[in-house]
Amino acid sequence: MSPWRVVGFLSLLGCAHVPEASPPRERSRAQARYTVTIYDNLGGARVRACLEGMTVNGLVPIYDGGGPALRGAWIGDDPLDTPDGRIRLREPARAACVDYETRFDSPLFRASDPAAVIVSQAQWLWRPDPFPRDLEASVRFELPMDAEVSLPWPRSDSTYFPERSAFYTSVYSVFGSFEHQSFSVMGTSVEVARLGLRPPADEIRRWLGGALQATASVGGRFPHDRVHFIIIPTPSQDKHVAFGMVRRGGGASVLLLPSPNATVGQLEADWVAVHELSHLWLPHLYPGDRWITEGIATYLQEVLRARCGLQSSERAWTRLQEGFERGRRAGTGRPLASESREMSRTGAYHRVYWAGAAFALAVDLRLRKESNGEMTLLRAIGDGQRLWGTDARLVDGSALLSALQEASGADFIQELAETYAASSDFPSTEYVRSPEYSEIRTQILSGADDACGLSAESWR
What digits encode the pLDDT tens for the residues 205-260?
999 999 999 999 999 899 999 999 999 999 888 899 999 999 999 999 999 999 99
The rounded percent of the chain whose pLDDT value lies above 70 is 90
The rounded percent of the chain whose pLDDT value lies above 90 is 74
The whole-number pLDDT of residue 449 equals 56
The whole-number pLDDT of residue 110 equals 54
pLDDT of 10 higher than 70 = no
The whole-number pLDDT of residue 321 equals 95
The whole-number pLDDT of residue 95 equals 87
445 versus 332: which is more confidently predicted? 332
Full-model pTM: 0.89
- Three-state SS sequence of the chain: CCHHHHHHHHCCCCCCCCCCCCCCCCCCCCEEEEEEEECCCCCEEEEEEEEECCCEEEEEECCHHHHHHEEEEEECCEECECHHHCEEEEEEECCEEEEEEEECCCCCEECCCCCEEEEEHHHCCEEEECCCCCCEEEEEEECCCCCEEECCCCEECCEECCCHHHHCCCCEEEEECCEEEEEEECCEEEEEEECCCCCCHHHHHHHHHHHHHHHHCCCCCCCCCEEEEEECCCCCCCCCEEEEEEECCCCCEEEEEECCCCCHHHHHHCCHHHHHHHHCCCCEECHHHHHHHHHHHHHHHHHHHHHCCCCCHHHHHHHHHHHHHHHHHCCCCCCHHHHHHHHHHHCCHHHHHHHHHHHHHHHHHHHHHHCCCCCCHHHHHHHHHHHHCCCCCEECHHHHHHHHHHHHCCCCHHHHHHHHHHCCCCCCCHHHHCHHHHHHHHHHHCCCHHHHCCCHHHEC
Q: What is the mean pLDDT of residues 443-448?
A: 80
Q: What is the mean pLDDT of residues 413-426?
A: 97
Q: What is the mean pLDDT of residues 131-136?
A: 93
Q: First CA to last CA across the chain, in angstroms?
A: 35
The whole-number pLDDT of residue 107 equals 46
The whole-number pLDDT of residue 438 equals 85
Domain segments of the chain as ranges? 10-178, 281-453
pLDDT of 25 higher than 60 = no
Q: What is the mean pLDDT of residues 22-37?
A: 75
Q: What is the pLDDT of residues 264-318, one digit of tens each?
A: 999 999 999 999 999 999 999 999 999 999 999 999 999 999 999 999 999 999 9
Residue 439's CB: how many other CB atoms inside 10 A? 12
Fold that domain 281-453 belongs to in CATH: Neutral Protease; domain 2 (1.10.390)
Q: What is the mean pLDDT of residues 87-94?
A: 92
Determine the Cα–Cα distance for residues 311 and 320; give it in Å rounded to an integer.
13
> What rounded mean pLDDT belongs to the chain?
89
Q: What is the pLDDT of residues 157-167, one digit of tens each?
A: 889 999 999 99
Best CA proximity match to 167, nearest among 17, 37, 51, 294: 51
pLDDT band of residue 350 (cuts 50, 70, 90) is very high
Determine the Cα–Cα distance for residues 303 and 452; give it in Å rounded to an integer.
12
pLDDT band of residue 19 (cuts 50, 70, 90) is very low
Residue 379's CB: how many other CB atoms inside 10 A? 19
Fold that domain 10-178 belongs to in CATH: Immunoglobulin-like (2.60.40)
